[in-house]
Amino acid sequence: GEDVEQSLFLSVREGDSSVINCTYTDSSSTYLYWYKQEPGAGLQLLTYIFSNMDMKQDQRLTVLLNKKDKHLSLRIADTQTGDSAIYFCAETPSLSGNTGKLIFGQGTTLQVKP
Amino acid sequence: DGGITQSPKYLFRKEGQNVTLSCEQNLNHDAMYWYRQDPGQGLRLIYYSQIVNDFQKGDIAEGYSVSREKKESFPLTVTSAQKNPTAFYLCASSIEGNEQFFGPGTRLTVL
């Protein structure tokens, strides 16, 4: 079945770049998403990439997609303490049709040290 | 302002009680979803609805029920049959097939 895997924890210093990685199993996924969750809050959509793209940049965020290896990454440049949160990778599995169902990874907790 | 609201923010339930979590959206989205989040885990889909008066079970529907009588509303009832209901519950909505927008969540605790 479909599966999305992420490492659970990443710690960086303020000002450094953060790279959060995600692997998925469904090679026919159409969209892949990155969501951010701050403590006690809902999920906020950060960015997404369509499966026929290999890179997308949006201000400090860069998404890289390697379809051959089924690997997705989110790079945050000049990481700030306000970036501390849990980051979720999610895919739209091919078997979901147009239901909009998403498969989420376990989430990566990003800790930014001053 | 358009968005999704969930209420209450915190909810306490005694064992054996049913409780209902509210989710309302004014985004005119057709599809709505309920997820459960446990510490260290991703989101697991409970139920989803693509259109009024229709809904489907997700991956962990046992012990839960939903209704979709209005486009704007998708309440979730946690029944006494759900043996481990303590969790953070998230509601989302989307235009069919596109990115999901999430509410702020309800934290349910069983006393």
- How far is it, in rounded angstroms, from Cα B87 to Cα B111? 13
Do residues B18 and B78 touch, judged by C-beta distance below 8 A? yes
Q: What is the pLDDT of residue A89?
A: 95
Q: Which two tokens mark B7?
A: 């209420």
Least confident of A33-37, A43-47, B12-16, B38-42: B38-42
Rg for chain A, CA atoms, rounded:
14
Contact between B48 and A102 using a beta-carbon 8 Å cutoff: no
When pLDDT is averaged across residues B31-60 and rounded to a whole number, the result is 93
CB contact under 8 A, A101 and B92: no
Contact state of A48 with B99 under an 8 Å Cβ cutoff: yes
* Segment A53-93, tens digit of pLDDT: 899 999 999 999 999 999 999 999 999 999 999 999 999 87
Q: What are the pLDDT digits (tens) for A90-104?
A: 998 776 666 678 889
Binning pLDDT at 50, 70 and 90, where does residue B46 land? very high
Confidence of residue B97 (pLDDT cuts 50, 70, 90): low
CA dist., res. A33 & res. A39, Å (int): 20
What's the rounded Cα separation, in Å, for the pair B62 and B83?
10
State chain B's maximal CA–CA distance in angstroms. 38
Give the tokens for residue B23.
């989710």
Q: What are phi and psi of A33, to 5 degrees?
A: -125, 155
